[in-house]
Structures are given as structure tokens and as C-alpha cells.
Amino acid sequence: MLAALGLTAVGITRGRGGGSADAAAVAAPTRTPGALLPTQPAGSASPAATLTGTPDPELDGRDYLRGDCYRWNQDADHTVVQDVSCQVPHLFEAVADAPVSIAADYPPGARYPSDADWDAIGARYCTSPVETYLGYPLDPHGRFVIGRIVPTESGWRTDDRDVVCGLQGVVPSVDESPGRIDLITGAVRGVDQSFVYPTGECLDSVTAADVTVVDCAATHDLLAIGDTRLPDTTTGAPPSDAVIERQCLGVAHANLGPAFQETATVRVGWFQIAPESWRVGSHTTTCTVSYVTAAGDPRGVMGEQLHPAGRLS
């Protein structure tokens, strides 16, 4: 019996019981003099939220096929899992045709693992299958995370120790809520793993410990104005701040109009790409409008947003 679905930062249990999952997260922003550089989300390093009480999809007793994608109705207590095309929104992409057994570490009589235990189990047992499936390492700070379908507590008591490994995605949204798993569209293999914010989303790093997507009517100090793919470098490291700033200014002029000008309190910023992310091919960053004080500190605003015509309100 299996319970809900899970990521290395998110967990799901499969079978006849409920489950839990942890959402991938963002780290507290850091800034450097002269440029506003919110830190890229930190993946599983520091969860910003915990998904709990995931409705119990009927994940028990089915086969999960390598490369196939799956979805179910998260709002139903019991629902049939659908095998769908990866090109339509889905919740889970399987990376192997068979589950892995964790019985060697958790023999009969072992207590049911905690959320932290499931994270460690996912990292230990699913990292290798995921990397074999992708052909390269997973970006530890990217938008995709290791998913796992694990036994329910009732299945655990009957010695079910099978874990299904897969992939899930993190989609930043103001609608994020505990207990829900993000829908993603498209197969993961070969896709730029960069964690990016959709254009027009408002982000708060002033009143929250982490960068958080908020309604634009609420306090925020960052506005996502578009993405840019950064050029390759001869050093194998991310390009200089000057290169990123030039590209993000281009994004600002393209999306806000050629007349857009930075001021002392409205700056163009971007999200840093960690060297380890760059090495696995995450070369896209979100450009932002950053609201600051005259001293360069974050400044909260309310109501400022990007309109469809490409202008700030």
C-alpha cells in the first residue's frame, strides 16, 4: 500500500492513506552594493512551506512507467490516477519502471519515517535513478525536485517498503497553499532547470523571511518583468554582473517600453544563479524591477504592477 507523493523538497504518500509533502523553497535575499540581487530559491535547503494533508489518490497497486506522467484531482478524497501526456499539466513524472525497496534500512517493526526521514530516503534512494534518467545532475536550486511515492502508515505496518522515484516541479504562484502539489507542463529531460518567476508576479522580501509571491495589492519590493537566458562563458561560471545587468535592462525596455528609466528608488535587478546551478545548465534568470530607498535598502510598495500593455501602474 502506497500513500502520497513527494519531492526531495516535497513528499507524497501512495495507497490507502493520507500523506505529506514539503514545498521547495526560496532563501532569504542577499544584496550586493550597487545591484539588487535577490538570491535564487534554495530548493530543498530551507523549505518555505510544508504540504500536509494531501488527499489520498488511489496510488496503490499501479505500475508507474519510466518517462510517463501522472495527475489526479487534488480536491477529491479518492480519485483515479491518470497516465497523461507529459505535454499537459501533470503532477509526477516517473523515472523508473519499478520502485526501489528501502527494507534494508527499515526492517519489519521499524517506526514510520518522519518528514525529515522521507527527505533523506528520497535523497539516498532516488537521486541515482533521477540522474540516470536525466543523464545529468538535478539542479539543487532549480524548479524541478525529486518526487517520491511512499507507503502509507497502514501499508508500512504490513511491511510495504517500496518507494517510486520521480520528478515534480515547483511553480511560484500567489495561489500556493499547504497540501497542494504544483502542476507542471512538459517533460523534464533536456529542459533548462532554472527557477524563474512568471512575468508580472509581485515578490516580497521585505515583510517575509523568504522571497514570497504575493498579490500585487499587498506589500512587495520586487516585480518580475521577464526572463533572460545568459550567454555561455569561457570560465564555466555565470557571467559578470555587468553582463546580466545589460541583459535585464534590455528586458525592461522590451517589456516596459523603450522610455523606461531607472531612478534612485526604482532599479532593475535579477536573481543570482549559483555556480552549481550554472554547471548543470541552469542559465536563465528572472529580471525584476526592484523598489529601494535612497540608501539602496528594500522598499515596500503596494499596488505597483505590470499591466498587459507593458507598463507599470
Which amino acid belongs to residue 103? A
Q: What is the pTM of this model?
A: 0.78
* For the chain, percent of residues with pLDDT exceeding 90: 56
Strands 144-151 and 162-169: antiparallel
**What cell was used for 283?**
542559465
CA distances from 310 to 227, 233, 256, 274, 306 (A): 14, 31, 5, 30, 6
- Is position 196 within any domain? no
Residue 172 to residue 289: CA distance in whole angstroms: 17
Which pLDDT score, from 0 to 100, does residue 29 have?
29
153 and 10 in a common domain: yes
DSSP 26: -
Residue range 200-210: mean pLDDT, rounded:
84
What was the pLDDT predicted at 51? Answer: 29
- Are 145 and 222 in a shared domain? no
Percent of the chain, pLDDT > 70? Answer: 75
Q: Which domain holds residue 266?
A: 202-291
Q: pLDDT (tens digit, 9 = 90+) per residue, 111-169? A: 999 989 998 999 999 999 999 999 999 999 999 999 998 888 888 999 999 999 999 99
Residue 147 burial (C-beta neighbours within 10 Å; 0-12, 13-18, 19+): buried
Tell me: do 97 and 206 sit in the same domain. Answer: no
Q: pLDDT band at 309, cuts 50/70/90?
A: low
Q: What is the residue whose three cell numbers read 497516465?
A: 83
**Is residue 112 included in any domain, yes or no?**
yes
